[in-house]
Every structure is written in structure tokens, then in C-alpha cells.
A and B are shown apart, each in its own frame.
Chain A
Amino acid sequence: MNCIIKMWLGICLCLIIGKHASAQSDSTSILIGHILYPPGDSARSTALQKLVSRGEPATFPFLAAINDKKIFLLDGQPVTTGLPQQAADGSEVFEVFLLYPKSVPVLNSDGIPKLLPVSSLEQISISRSDRLLMIPILPFLNLANPDPKKRIIAYGQLLNSADSSKISVLSGALNLEKDKEALTAGKEILFQLELEQAKSETVAKAYIDSLDSNWGENVTLILKNYATSGKLEGAKKYAAEKVTDLEGLQGRIQKAQNLFSGISLGSILILIALGLAIVYGLAGIINMAHGEFLMIGAYTTFCVQKLFIDILGIKSDLFFFVSLPVSFLIAGVFGLILEKLVIRHLYSRPLESLLATWGVSLIMVQLARSIFGDLTAVKAPSFLAGGYQVMPHLILPYNRLFIIGLTIIVVSLTYLMLYRSRLGIQIRAVTQNRSMSACLGVETRKVDAITFFLGSGLAGLAGCAMTLIGNVVPDMGQTYIVDSFLVVVTGGVGKIAGAILSGLGIGFLTKVLESFYEAVYGKVLILALIVIFLQFKPRGLFPDKGRIAED
């Protein structure tokens, strides 16, 4: 918190240099009083307008609080809340800051910052039209915002709209800037201003170079503008060259981004298709209700979250780790029930089982609809928010990385289970030749049940992961299910390697085609490609070897 206060001071100083402080503090407090307790209908707007036009730095914390809709009254004084903290009893409390005349934390009798829940403060609601009055000074308000994201927005707002008089303010703010991204965004604006001021070609070129090496969000836009409307011919040409370079670089980054989205989509498909492939390989059954097990996993996550927050009162990200195994188990148990009641009777008739499981999926979707009703969503754990910055402009969201990681773990575990355990040997034996394994003492029925449990559980796990990127709705299973069917078909029967390769392939192709065509046409093209692929490999990437394949 200390650094923020320092920052305030810094900015205030800068502004004071730029603008002489007026000795109107008395009337300023009157105006603030008018805003807090408006005596007339339009008094609040008038007072705000006056405060804004004065641009007194001391009022900025106050105005910023209004803009963020975080202005409260505490004992008749305007205050705002800082970062949330957890109280001893688990409830959420906030540090409280006094806003005017000085921005300081409110202390209790022991001299320690007071921690209060929001409910104990009286909120002042200020209408949007009044808040919009602050647009002219908005960037300056946010330059000192504790949230680096807000500061980045503030810098962005200064783009094109700032004039040379702001250079000192900007550099003052940048001196105190700690956040890397915000620093980049701020420097960009500063360099733009300097570039436009530049009188000689060498200076201009130097700034173009700095812009280039700073490599902010809007650098292409800035240089493009300069290349068309700049004053110095040589520098204009130089800027144009830089623009071509940058655009080439951005194209390559775009490609990397596509590669990543492809892998991420592919890992989702693999996660869903894995269970499907195992069950299909074992019993030759395509489980049309597989998507619904995904839905069950997602709703389980939702329920676990509710349980943690509403009943146990634990507000932490722990729930997500609990829900991973829980959703595996619950979906697995549902799968077991389905196997016992329906599939068991249909092992010799794969096409009928396809229809029966389709009927089951209808029932399950309607059941979810009548229990949960609406759109629901799981709040993703906070440590998965945001992304890992590989290089500027190439950000890999943590939630997607998490799913990729989860897929790798799940695939390896499944591999170990299938190829390094007794159960795996039995599953593979039944997959290859059911009657022979039965003769050799494998309890095929039991193996069937366990496999179905595992397959459904894997779908449940995928459902849990899916809550990180989308809504939880009753028909969420349908979104990816046809695609994962295709993964199984292209990969080959019951082959993990096949599922991985074709999952990645289809995911990657989808994203690549999507960047050229629209999503719909991409889908049609994928289908055509798969049909062509199957001309050469009719039994998928890794067909069964041996003589069991034909009827």
C-alpha cells in the first residue's frame, strides 16, 4: 500500500509543477460536500464539473473512487476500500482509505489500519452521467490506480490525445511505475510524444528505435501514423520499414498463437476422446451419452464450489482441486450405473447400444435442466486467471496451460494403467479377444464394468476442466462430442497414441483453418479432410494388427 501512496504523491508533485496549485482548498471541500450530500437536483453535477475543471491533484483520489464506484461514507467522511483481506472468521474485509483532504488509511485506536466489511460502510451511488463528466481527466486519475491493468488503460487513453505539456506528468508517473506491462504501455506514449516533437531525423529515428525495442501494444499503429503523417521524410521512411518488420513479426506471433490454440483445443479433444476410445476399443460401443458424463463432471465441480462457498464457507481455490477427483468419481459411478442397467445387455449389439445411450443422453440432459435450470458458471480459481507471457504479445492463458498439463498427466496415467498394470493387461486382452480371455480366466464382465467406470470418469474429469473455459449448461456435452467421435475414428480403435495424434491434428487443423475461413467453413473442410484421410487409412492412424478385424 505504501508504494501507492508514494505514487500519489509523485503524481501530485508532477501536476503541481505543471499547474500552480490554487489556494481554493476551502471551496474544494465545499464542493466535495455538495457531491456527498447534494443540496439540490443538479448540485452534484455542477460540483463535479467544477472539481474536474480545476484538476486539483488533491481531489484525484476522491474522483478516482467515484469513477470506480467505490465511494463510501464512514462517520460522514468520504472513504474508499483497498484490497480485500480475509478476516479471522473467513468473511471478506477491506482496508479503508480516507480520500480528502489526504489519502491515508483509516487507523483504529492502536494505530493499525482498520479492516471493515463493505456492509458497515454506506455506499454513495453516483449516476453514470455524473461519472462521465470525469472523462477529460480520467487518464490522470487512473495513472495512480493501484491496479496495473487500470494504469495500462489510462496510458492507452493518453494515446493520440496527449500533448507535449503532458510529457513531464507522464515521465513522472513512469519513474514510479513498477509493473512491467504498464511501464511498456506508458513508455510507448512517452516515445510517441517525443517522436512527434523531434526536430531532427536522427532524434526521430532514435525514438522510432526505442518504440520498436519497447514493443508496446500500439507500436504498429503509432509508426503507421507517423509513416503517413510525420514531418521528417527520412524518419517517415524509416518508420514505414519498421512497420513492415513488425507486421512480419506479428504474423509469426499470430502463427505461434494459432499453434497454441490448436494444441489447447486438441488437448481438450484428447481428454474427452480418451474415455470414449477405451470404451469403444473394449466393447465396440460408441457411447452417445459420453458428452453427458462431461456435463456431470462440470455440474459436480459447480456443486463442490457451492458446497465450499455456501455451506462450508471456505472461499479459496481449494475447491477446484477437490472437485477434480470428485467429478471423476461421480461421473464414473454414473457410468457404472449406466453399464449395469443398459449397456450390459447390449454388448453384442453395438448399433443398438448407440441408440440406447442416445436415449439415456436425452434423459440426462433433461434431468440436468430440471435440477439446475439455468446457465450456471464456475468461478475459475484465481491462480489460473491471466496468462504466462512468453514474449510481448504472446500470452498463453494459464487456464489453457492447465488443461494441457492435465491432459498430459491423465494420458500418462492411462498409459501406465493400460500397459503397466494387471488390470491393463486384462483390459487389453478383452479388447483383443473377448472369448479367449474369458477362457483364460479373465472375468470379462468385471473388466467391462471397470473400463466403463474409467471411461466415464475421464469424461467427468474433462468436464471439470471445461468449467475453466466455458459455461456450465445442460447441453454442454454436445459441443465437442461429434469432434471427439471423429478423433476416435481417425485415431483408430482403442489406441491411446491414435487418440493423441488425431486429437492434436484435428485441434490444430481446426484452428489453422479458422484463421483463414470462418469457423463453419473450417468445420466442413475438416470433415472433407477426414473423409479423404480415411481413403488411405480406413481403420484410422493405428489400426488393429492381426486377424480379429474382419467379421
Chain B
Amino acid sequence: MEKTKDLRFYLAFLVLFAVLLPLGNLTGLVSNNTISLWGRYFCFAIAALGVDLIWGYTGILSMCQAFFFCLGGYSVAMHIVMKGASANGTGIPDFMVWNQVNSLPFFWVPFQSFGLALILGLLIPAAFAFVFGYFIFRSRIKGVYMAIITQALALAMWLLFLRNETMLGGTNGLTDFKSLLGLSLSSPAVKLGLYLISLAGLCGAYFLSKKLVDSKFGKVLQAIRDSESRTSYTAYRVLDYKLAIFIAGALLAAFAGMLYAPQTGIITPGRMDVRASVEMVMWVALGGRGKLKGAVLGALVVNFLYSICTSLFPDSWLFILGFLFVITVLYFDKGFLGMIEKISGGIGKRKSSIKEVAEQQVV
């Protein structure tokens, strides 16, 4: 039963986003703006998968995912800016010229190569997650403590990126993206291409994550979530598991950030402030945590609502979204996914099996 339902869900998703929307765009029914909007939402969904792995499955509330997201975004952005600068003939990005910097800082050099930029874009966040995670998990910081420490990390890094001395563009961040691998980023075809790559990335990330949580490894993660001490008593090295999933989450966020930057056309420290990280957790909470589908659904729905509410209700959207958050958290502890299930379950009451009850207690 679950399997066929899942299959239908995937099919509907793919028909809608992989066939209908691109076709609509090619025939001119769906505007380029809609395409690039959804392309960006997919990136958020990938990052949300990472949050769900860490929080929903392992129970670690990390509030610095937006920082990892930005590390990925900045590395691709740095590559694009470098290419733009060498096309201009100066070899130094514009903002450095304005800041009276005359030679390229050393850490910008590797980003001239696209391959290295990609590798570094994943390697740096992974290394960061490793070092930070190692110390935090080693001292058995968890729960709310973990949330606060990661929040402080996000804050400190945000302040650091805001400085012009950091040579990453300060408040203005990196902007003026012209082309990537020789393809103009402003052409509709490239935008559609990036949309499809993001969609493929999301599908890939989803199925990898699905494999992961269904494997034995995933079961251990859920055991850690439910009772960390009991898991460690059964001779699992909890630290290793937590560290591995923390790094995996960081990698997913960075990967998402890499796809995000070229589609948005700008990356600024505003994307990595504390609020941005809490928002990512919010998507998962609203979509339904502990369910990968929930994370994807949450990221897509919340961002979609954010986009349309800021246009339709420019004066009151914050109240609308704020209340939605509070009410969903209060009354639908399993998020949108739970809401959908409740509604469809309310019609055919047969589904409230013992299994469901058991699951509820676990989550």
C-alpha cells in the first residue's frame, strides 16, 4: 500500500515538474520567472533534505545549515566572478578594485578552475562540519544546547562575511554573474537547463537520502534520535554516526547552495544569517519532520507561499506566515504531510493502525 502510494506521489511530482512546467515554458505558457523560481525552490528542498537527515532522523537540531549552504554558493559564485574578471582583462573582481585591493588574495586563486571550485565548494563545508561536529559531539552537546551553539556559529560567521576585510564582497556579496562554462546565465535555455539540473539534483538527493535512511545506517540514526544512551550501550559508536550525518547534511546544503547561486544571480551574507538557518529548520518542521517527503514538501510550499504572499499581501504577509508557523507547529505536529494524511485519513478511518500510533510516539 505505502509503496504504490509513494510511487504515485513520485510520478505526479515528476509529471508536473519534469514535463508539464518545462513544456509550458517552451510553449510560452509558463514564464521564465516561474521556471527560475521553482529552480531555486528545488535548491532549498535539497538543503531541507539535509536538515531532515540531521534533525528529523538523528534528532540533532543544527541551526547553521544556511552557513554551509552559503559556503557552496560562494564557491561557485567566486568561480563565476573570477571568470568575469578575467574576461574584463583586469583579473581582479570589481569589488576588490573598488576596495583598493590590487592583487588577488591567495584563497581566490583555486577558484579560477571550475572543477576545483566544485571540489572546494564541497570540501570546505565538509571540513568545517567535521571539525566543528567533532568537538561538539565529543563533548556530548545535544538538544537545545546544540541548537544554540550552532546558532552562535552561524552568527559569528555571518559577522565575519559582512566584513570587507574578508575579501568576499562584504554586505554586497558577490554579484554580476555573466556566464558559467561559457554559457550565458541570462539566456532562457540556460535557465531551463539549470532548472532541470536542480530538479535532477533534488531527485538524486532524495533517492540517496531514502536509501540511506532505509539502510541499517539509517536505522541506527533513528535509534540515536529515540534514545542516544541506549544506542551507545549497544556498542554503536554514536559519535561517528552523528558526525557522518552532520557532514552529509552539510554536503547537501553546500550542493544546494552551488545550484542556487547561479540561478539567483547574487549571493550575499544575508543568506546565511541566523534567520536563514532557522527558516530552513522551519521548512522541515512545517513539511513534516522525520519524513523525507515532508522536508521537500515543506521547502517547496513555504517558499512558494513566501513568494506569493510578499506580492499579494505586501503589508500583512509576515502575520499570515507567522500565524501559519505557530498553528502548524501547535496543531499539526507532523506538518503539512501530517495534515494531508489527517484529512485523507479522516475520510477513510481505516488507516489508524497500531503502527501509526507507535510511529507517533516515536516522533
Determine if A550 is an interface residue (Cβ-Cβ < 8 Å).
yes
Question: With A482-B274, A520-B160, A524-B157 given, can you name 14 additional A-B contacts, CB distance below 8 Å?
Answer: A284-B144, A286-B144, A345-B330, A355-B282, A356-B325, A356-B326, A358-B278, A363-B318, A482-B155, A486-B148, A520-B156, A527-B149, A527-B152, A536-B139
Chain A to chain B: the 9 pairs with minimum beta-carbon distance, closest first: A359-B325, A363-B322, A366-B318, A356-B329, A538-B139, A485-B148, A359-B326, A362-B322, A535-B139
Cβ–Cβ < 8 Å partners of A356 in chain B: 325-326, 329-330
Cβ–Cβ < 8 Å partners of A532 in chain B: 135
Out of B148, B325, B326, which one reaches A489, CB within 8 Å?
A: B148
Determine if B163 is an interface residue (Cβ-Cβ < 8 Å).
yes
Q: Which of A322-330, A346-354, A439-447, A457-465 contacts B (4 or more CB under 8 A)?
A: A346-354
Determine if B344 is an interface residue (Cβ-Cβ < 8 Å).
no
Contact status B153-A352, CB under 8 Å: no
Which residues of A from 515 to 551 have beta carbons under 8 Å from B? 520-521, 523-524, 527, 530-532, 534-536, 538, 550-551
Out of B227, B274, B282, which one reaches A551, CB within 8 Å?
A: B227
Interface of B, secondary structure class, is helix
A523 in contact with B159 given A531-B149, A538-B139 (CB within 8 Å): yes
Out of A351, A355, A485, A550, which one reaches B151, CB within 8 Å?
A: A485
Query: How far does the Cβ of B139 sit from chain A's closest Cβ, in whole Å?
Result: 4
Contact status B322-A359, CB under 8 Å: yes
Q: Which residue of A lies closest to B320 (CB)?
A: A363
Cβ–Cβ < 8 Å partners of B200 in chain A: none
Determine if A72 is an interface residue (Cβ-Cβ < 8 Å).
no
Contact status A360-B322, CB under 8 Å: yes
Chain A interface: which size bin? 35 or more
A351 in contact with B61 given A284-B144, A489-B149 (CB within 8 Å): yes
Out of B144, B162, B319, B322, which one reaches A354, CB within 8 Å?
A: B144
Contact status A538-B140, CB under 8 Å: yes
List 25 contacting pairs A-B, 8 Å CB cutoff, sorted by A.
Answer: A284-B144, A286-B147, A288-B278, A351-B147, A355-B278, A359-B326, A360-B322, A360-B326, A362-B318, A363-B318, A367-B319, A482-B148, A485-B151, A485-B152, A520-B156, A520-B160, A523-B156, A524-B160, A527-B152, A531-B135, A531-B149, A534-B141, A538-B141, A551-B227, A551-B229
Contact status A520-B229, CB under 8 Å: no
Cβ–Cβ < 8 Å partners of A482 in chain B: 148, 151-152, 155, 274
Which of A355, A356, A538 is packed against the most chain B CB atoms within 10 Å? Answer: A355
Q: How far is the CA of A360 from the CA of B325 in the complex (A)?
A: 9
Interface of A, secondary structure class, is helix
Which residues of B from 109 to 132 have beta carbons under 8 Å from A? 132
Out of A351, A355, A363, A531, which one reaches B323, CB within 8 Å?
A: A363
Q: Which residue of B lies closest to A345 (CB)?
A: B330
Which residues of A from 451 to 496 have beta carbons under 8 Å from B? 482, 485-486, 488-489
Cβ–Cβ < 8 Å partners of A342 in chain B: 326, 330
Q: How far is the CA of A551 from the CA of B142 in the complex (A)?
A: 12
Determine if B204 is an interface residue (Cβ-Cβ < 8 Å).
no
Q: Which residue of B lies closest to A356 (CB)?
A: B329
Query: How far does the Cβ of A367 sit from chain B's closest Cβ, in whole Å?
Result: 8
One digit per residue, 1 when the CB lies within 8 angstroms of any chain A CB and 0 when it does not, for chain B 133-145 equals: 0011011110111
Cβ–Cβ < 8 Å partners of B160 in chain A: 520-521, 524
Determine if B76 is an interface residue (Cβ-Cβ < 8 Å).
no
Query: How far does the Cβ of B222 sit from chain A's closest Cβ, in whole Å?
Result: 15
Cβ–Cβ < 8 Å partners of A535 in chain B: 135, 138-139
Cβ–Cβ < 8 Å partners of B274 in chain A: 482
Determine if A280 is an interface residue (Cβ-Cβ < 8 Å).
yes
Cβ–Cβ < 8 Å partners of B159 in chain A: 520, 523-524
Q: How far is the CA of A345 from the CA of B327 in the complex (A)?
A: 11
Q: Which residue of B lies closest to A370 (CB)?
A: B315
Q: How far is the CA of A280 from the CA of B141 in the complex (A)?
A: 16
Contact status B149-A523, CB under 8 Å: no
Contact status A530-B149, CB under 8 Å: yes
Query: How far does the Cβ of B328 sit from chain A's closest Cβ, in whole Å?
Result: 9
Q: Which residue of B lies closest to A550 (CB)?
A: B229
Determine if B321 is an interface residue (Cβ-Cβ < 8 Å).
yes
Contact status B319-A534, CB under 8 Å: no
A520 in contact with B163 given A359-B329, A482-B151 (CB within 8 Å): yes
Q: Which residue of B lies closest to A534 (CB)?
A: B139
Q: How far is the CA of A360 from the CA of B327 in the complex (A)?
A: 10
Which residues of A from 335 to 391 have beta carbons under 8 Å from B? 342, 345-346, 349-352, 354-356, 358-360, 362-363, 366-367
Cβ–Cβ < 8 Å partners of B138 in chain A: 535
Q: Which residue of A lies closest to B148 (CB)?
A: A485
A355 in contact with B325 given A363-B319, A524-B160 (CB within 8 Å): yes
Which of B145, B151, B228, B274 is packed against the most chain A CB atoms within 10 Å? Answer: B145
Cβ–Cβ < 8 Å partners of B321 in chain A: 362
Query: How far does the Cβ of B76 sit from chain A's closest Cβ, in whole Å?
Result: 25
Which of B140, B147, B152 is packed against the most chain A CB atoms within 10 Å? Answer: B152
Q: How far is the CA of A485 from the CA of B145 in the complex (A)?
A: 9
Q: How far is the CA of A390 from the CA of B221 in the complex (A)?
A: 59
Contact status B282-A280, CB under 8 Å: no
Q: Which residue of B lies closest to A486 (CB)?
A: B152
Query: How far does the Cβ of A366 sit from chain B's closest Cβ, in whole Å?
Result: 4
Which residues of A from 70 to 106 have beta carbons under 8 Å from B? none
Cβ–Cβ < 8 Å partners of A352 in chain B: 285, 329, 333
Query: How far does the Cβ of B112 sit from chain A's closest Cβ, in whole Å?
Result: 28
Query: How far does the Cβ of A398 sit from chain B's closest Cβ, in whole Å?
Result: 31
Q: How far is the CA of A360 from the CA of B140 in the complex (A)?
A: 30
Q: How far is the CA of A177 from the CA of B163 in the complex (A)?
A: 48
A346 in contact with B152 given A366-B318, A538-B139 (CB within 8 Å): no
Cβ–Cβ < 8 Å partners of B155 in chain A: 482, 523
Query: How far does the Cβ of A204 sit from chain B's closest Cβ, in whole Å?
Result: 46
Cβ–Cβ < 8 Å partners of B282 in chain A: 355, 358-359
Cβ–Cβ < 8 Å partners of A346 in chain B: 329-330
Cβ–Cβ < 8 Å partners of A550 in chain B: 229
Cβ–Cβ < 8 Å partners of B278 in chain A: 288, 355, 358
Cβ–Cβ < 8 Å partners of B261 in chain A: none
Determine if B281 is an interface residue (Cβ-Cβ < 8 Å).
yes
Query: How far does the Cβ of A340 sit from chain B's closest Cβ, in whole Å?
Result: 12
Cβ–Cβ < 8 Å partners of B145 in chain A: 489, 534
Query: How far does the Cβ of A540 sit from chain B's closest Cβ, in whole Å?
Result: 8
Cβ–Cβ < 8 Å partners of A359 in chain B: 282, 322-323, 325-326, 329
Q: How far is the CA of A359 from the CA of B326 in the complex (A)?
A: 6
Q: Which residue of A lies closest to B326 (CB)?
A: A359
Query: How far does the Cβ of B217 sit from chain A's closest Cβ, in whole Å?
Result: 22
Q: How far is the CA of A356 from the CA of B329 in the complex (A)?
A: 6
A355 in contact with B322 given A486-B152, A489-B145 (CB within 8 Å): no
Query: How far does the Cβ of A394 sit from chain B's closest Cβ, in whole Å?
Result: 30
Q: How far is the CA of A83 from the CA of B151 in the complex (A)?
A: 52
Q: Which residue of A lies closest to B279 (CB)?
A: A358
Contact status A354-B152, CB under 8 Å: no
Query: How far does the Cβ of A484 sit from chain B's closest Cβ, in whole Å?
Result: 10
Q: Which residue of A lies closest to B322 (CB)?
A: A363
Query: How far does the Cβ of A312 sit from chain B's closest Cβ, in whole Å?
Result: 33
One digit per residue, 1 when the CB lies within 8 angstroms of any chain A CB and 0 when it does not, for chain B 39-73 equals: 00000000000000001000001000000000000
Q: Which residue of A lies closest to B330 (CB)?
A: A345
Contact status A350-B156, CB under 8 Å: no
Which residues of B from 137 to 187 have beta carbons under 8 Å from A? 138-141, 143-145, 147-149, 151-153, 155-157, 159-160, 162-163
Cβ–Cβ < 8 Å partners of B139 in chain A: 534-536, 538
Contact status B136-A355, CB under 8 Å: no
Query: How far does the Cβ of A538 sit from chain B's closest Cβ, in whole Å?
Result: 4
